[in-house]
A and B are shown apart, each in its own frame.
Chain A
């Protein structure tokens, strides 16, 4: 009897330990959920959701558009609360990214042939800052440095966001806080607002010009 009781107790203890271990593992290990969804426009996309302690990642593969991208949100209280309240993003992919749109306004403002327009079906603020990882291997080469611009619809102008986006394994990563129309280019958009100003080049040119002009005057005076 004593022996049976001991075995049962040990079994219960093992179950508790196993439960604890599972709990510890689960909090550290990512939880993956895969889901295939048919969107309203009859396109089948594959969405996988991965939850870790730090991040919630939604990976989307849309084979019909040859489009692969992921959303990464910080797994914090703000996001979860907002997610619950607004359902800004979910496995129904209400936050859908598109790169095949033709925006006449952007086309008018940006002549760069290498631009990639990134648009979302949702417009407005995101619950929290989101990191987007986008497959651009069909458009840009590995190692290529890209510029990210935002199209301000209200003011009808292109605004500079970031210029150090490097294509790595055919993918680029950038962060946004609201959904709207963005564009990636390998060259600068000349008429964009807040373009990074390379003051160093202008200062170097200024110094060179002054030195050359002084030198030329001295040389001509000697002659």
Chain B
């Protein structure tokens, strides 16, 4: 695939990822099932992304399955780094900068409402969509590994909570997300397999879920 093709695909996927959630409130504002409709639309978006990158994803799944336990083991190491690192970052933010950070609140709130929606949204839609957009798209276009890791992580952090930034104090909350982005991008850069960051994040989400129950 030429660089131009990758660029056009990547920008298209990135724009859809940003613009669709922006338009969702106007679509679902009068609906009583807004949560269900939101999740349904995001699921369709994920299917579209998978379709766009289907060849690469199938290749990566096969490669991951070939050395399944070894790859799961590697993913566990990255997950541990993510969990421990985020814990340290959170402690520093709370104790030193007095900034509250909680990445499990979405799980907590969904856990109260609908366990099925929680599984679909957190463990399928959000997990795969984010890895395709912030890892696959950026890695395909950016050849310099350091630039890819730093830039994709910063964009990931901004896209996670950029909507909510309204003061300089809120900028501190970018740090945990940027850190998570770095670990996930490094795991993809090192293994060259998009399934690895997905599994890393899956372990992290499981850890948060078990903590929440």
Contact = CB atoms under 8 A, between A and B. Distances in A.
Interface of A: 108-109, 111-114, 145, 156-157, 163, 186-188, 190-191, 195-199, 201-202, 205-206, 209-210, 212-214, 216-217, 220-221
Interface string B165-202: 11101100100000000000000000000000000000
Contact of A214 (B7, B22, B108, B163): B7
A188 B164 contact: yes
Given A187-B99, A216-B147, A108 B108 contact: yes
Contacts of A202: 18, 22, 158-159, 162-163
B109 A206 contact: no
A190 B102 contact: yes
Interface residues of B, number: 40
Contact of A195 (B102, B159, B163): B163
B26 to A, nearest CB: 12
A195 B164 contact: yes
Interface of B: 3-4, 6-7, 10-11, 14-15, 18, 22, 94, 98-100, 102, 105-106, 108-109, 112, 138, 141-144, 147, 151, 155, 158-159, 161-167, 169-170, 173
Contacts, number: 95
Contacts of B98: 113-114
A206 B15 contact: yes
Given A199-B22, A213-B11, A217-B7, A188 B166 contact: yes
Given A113-B94, A114-B100, A209-B155, A198 B106 contact: no
